[in-house]
Amino acid sequence: MLLVVVALLSLATVVAGRGRLGALADVRLRGTGLVAIALGAQVVVVSVIPGELDGIHAPVHLATYGLLAAFLWLNRTIPGMVLVALGAAANALAIVANAGVMPASPRALAIAGLPPEKPGEFANSAVLDGPALGWLGDIFAVPAAWPASNVFSIGDVLIALGLTIGLHCLAASRPAVAFAQIVSRAGSGRAPRGTSRIPRASRTR
């Protein structure tokens, strides 16, 4: 839910920056089925059978990140995808280091108004005793009084930044075009006025 809100807010900033939302329709993502399978599997182990089939939850949770990694690799040329991949890698590293569970800060959970996990049930994000790489875990929170309250990590912040940057670049918003011109002029050659080197959405395969 939080990711959906972030995506909507990112689109709103594209509209505010006078980007062409129609250009996003030209983007051809590869391997979208991998994302659907990964998200579906996460929903099953977290919400459908959190207390059943003991022992499969953590491996399945880890496997979903493998599917997401394959999706990111297939679409690595899309603007912003490198940041998204770094964020996903940070999350995966924390999860692998804690046997399939994302460590969560008790304080962050309290701020978000989220109850602790029930005994015997799997939680993809939970308070752990002495977690490894705890600073990569869910240490931030959207307050309970706000819409889509939840906890999130440094990796999630990177994913949100990558998503926002990618949308602005693909939609050729004014901030993205201006930034591309600055980078171009600071590089080896001065870009012609009114042009940019933002990758075109139609080039994505």
| Residue 124 backbone dihedrals phi, psi, to 5 degrees | -70, -20
pLDDT confidence bin for 199, thresholds 50/70/90:
low
Q: State the pLDDT at residue 56.
A: 86
Domain that holds residue 86: 2-203
What is the total count of domains within the chain? 1
Q: Which two tokens stand for residue 120?
A: 């015997």
Cβ–Cβ under 8 Å, residues 19 and 168: yes
Spatial CB neighbours of 12, under 8 Å, sequence gap ≥ 6 = none
pLDDT digits (tens, 9 = 90+) for 70-88: 999 999 999 999 999 999 9
Q: State the pLDDT at residue 203.
A: 46
For the chain, the average pLDDT equals 87
Examine the pLDDT at 205 and tell me if it is beyond 60: no
| Residue 39 backbone dihedrals phi, psi, to 5 degrees | -65, -40
- 177, containing H or E segment: helix 174-186
pLDDT digits (tens, 9 = 90+) for 108-159: 999 999 887 776 777 788 999 999 999 999 999 999 999 889 999 999 999 9
DSSP, collapsed to helix, strand or coil, labels residue 50 as coil
Which amino acid makes up residue 17?
A: G
pLDDT digits (tens, 9 = 90+) for 89-111: 999 999 999 988 999 999 999 99
Q: State the pLDDT at residue 188.
A: 58
pLDDT: is 185 or 195 the higher one?
A: 185
pLDDT digits (tens, 9 = 90+) for 28-58: 999 999 999 999 998 888 888 877 767 788 8
Q: State the pLDDT at residue 160.
A: 95
